[in-house]
Amino acid sequence: MARRVRPNIFGSIMDGTADAEPPAQLRMPDPARPASVPVPPAPLAQAENRSTAIPAAFHRGPVAALENDLRQSMSQTLRDIDTALIDPSPFSDRIAISEDDIQDLRDSIERSGLRVPILLRPNPEKPGRFIIVYGRRRLAALKSLGMPARAMIRDMSDVDSILAQGQENNARLDPSFIEKALFAASLEAAGYESRVVMEALNVNKAYLSHMRRVVTNIPVNVIYQIGSAHGVGWKKWHEAVDLVLKDGVDPAIPEGLFDQDPNKDTHFLLWLNHLRRSVARKLPASQPFDKNRERRARPVFTRDGKTRIGEVRRNGRAVHLCADPRETDFTRWLDAKGEELLARLYGEWVEADRG
């Protein structure tokens, strides 16, 4: 049995095609007459009275009438608002919006106008002003163009506003782990229950716990210097937390660390590698065996932080230096030079221990 396809009335409203003549199967025949019998035209006066009393869209059937009603409802709820009257949300879901972030969006708005309206709610403390619920990037682009914001305005509770902001931005912006963590922290600091935070971000209790651990132990100013760190999940952030808590490394970013690579996408790895090197420098040349020391494998990366080349692993009193098997050329070279390199490292240790 063929599946019946329903007409997309909402799509036609948005693209402006709702006033087009509906397909034949949607036209309403006169139930009192067979379809083959032509319907005589109504008298002129009667037609004029009918046209003034009933919207024209109704004569094209109930679907067209519903489209017309919905479009009229939308036109009544959309307003052009001066961007100077729009206040930011008290809960930020993005670390920053730069000029580069909105350049393409600004160009699109300049060419075609704002296609998707932003959502505002009245500011309960400042009559005549509004608070943005979602659409921060669109608002930033409109401000830079000096254009008013086409907006939907809704009376919303604080909780409904937070849920709408979090869920819309998760769907449209793909915020990073650390951006979500900061958003969650700001909500919890304002007294919102975990249930609300998890629903707003669409995360479970375990994931929320990962977020708390990071924002509790890494200073906020360090996080903002690193940036949004897209592509970096909670495991890498937890490694940084472990280096701070268990190895006593200072998480502060040294001056000039990011100068070597202005690309913000690499800032997190540059910082993480700095923490790893700090651990190595903190270890004394001669360190007694500590049976309680964590025996986790410690990954080793190239200096730019982009490529994993191996790991250091401790098992009992033995220490293993393992090359990443994917680095086949390096693995062969290390196999050939292993004895020489180990002897050199031992010599360096002897000299350092004597010094």
Whether residue 186 is found in the same domain as residue 258 = yes
What residues make up the domain containing 259? 176-194+202-284
**Domain-embedded: residue 123:** yes
Whether residue 97 is found in the same domain as residue 158 = yes
Whether residue 256 is found in the same domain as residue 189 = yes
**Domain-embedded: residue 12:** no
Tokens at 325, concatenated = 């098997």
E-strand ranges in 58-117 read 78-81, 86-87
Rounded Cα distance, 252 and 68, in Å: 59
**Domain-embedded: residue 167:** yes
Query: Which H or E run includes 309?
Result: strand 308-315
The count of domains in the chain is 3
Task: Express the helix, strand and coil content of the chain in percent, nearest 5 each.
Answer: 50, 10, 35
Radius of gyration of the chain (CA): 32
Q: Cβ distance 227 to 96 under 8 Å?
A: yes
Q: Which residues pair with 301 in a beta bridge?
A: 308
pLDDT tens digits, the chain, 355 residues: what are they? 444 444 443 343 344 433 343 444 334 444 444 444 444 444 434 444 444 444 454 445 544 554 555 455 554 468 899 999 999 888 877 776 667 667 888 888 888 888 888 889 999 889 999 999 888 888 889 998 999 999 989 888 888 888 888 877 666 667 889 988 998 988 888 888 999 999 888 889 999 999 999 999 999 889 988 988 888 999 999 999 999 998 888 999 988 888 866 667 788 998 998 998 888 766 554 455 454 444 567 777 776 666 778 888 777 678 888 888 888 888 888 888 888 888 888 777 777 655 4
Whether residue 148 is found in the same domain as residue 240 = no
Rounded Cα distance, 289 and 273, in Å: 25
Whether residue 276 is found in the same domain as residue 314 = no
Whether residue 153 is found in the same domain as residue 183 = no
Give the chain's end-to-end CA distance (angstroms, integer): 87
Whether residue 144 is found in the same domain as residue 233 = no
CATH number for the domain that contains residue 113: 3.90.1530.10
**Domain-embedded: residue 251:** yes
What is the DSSP-derived secondary structure letter of residue 1?
-
Whether residue 213 is found in the same domain as residue 115 = no
Within 13 Å, how many C-alpha atoms sit on residue 254's CB side?
A: 12
pLDDT for residue 218: 93
Q: Cβ distance 97 to 136 under 8 Å?
A: yes
Q: Cβ distance 251 to 275 under 8 Å?
A: yes
Whether residue 268 is found in the same domain as residue 352 = no
**Backbone torsion region of residue 136, taken as left when φ is above 0, otherwise alpha when ψ lies between -120 and 50, otherwise beta:** alpha
pLDDT for residue 272: 92
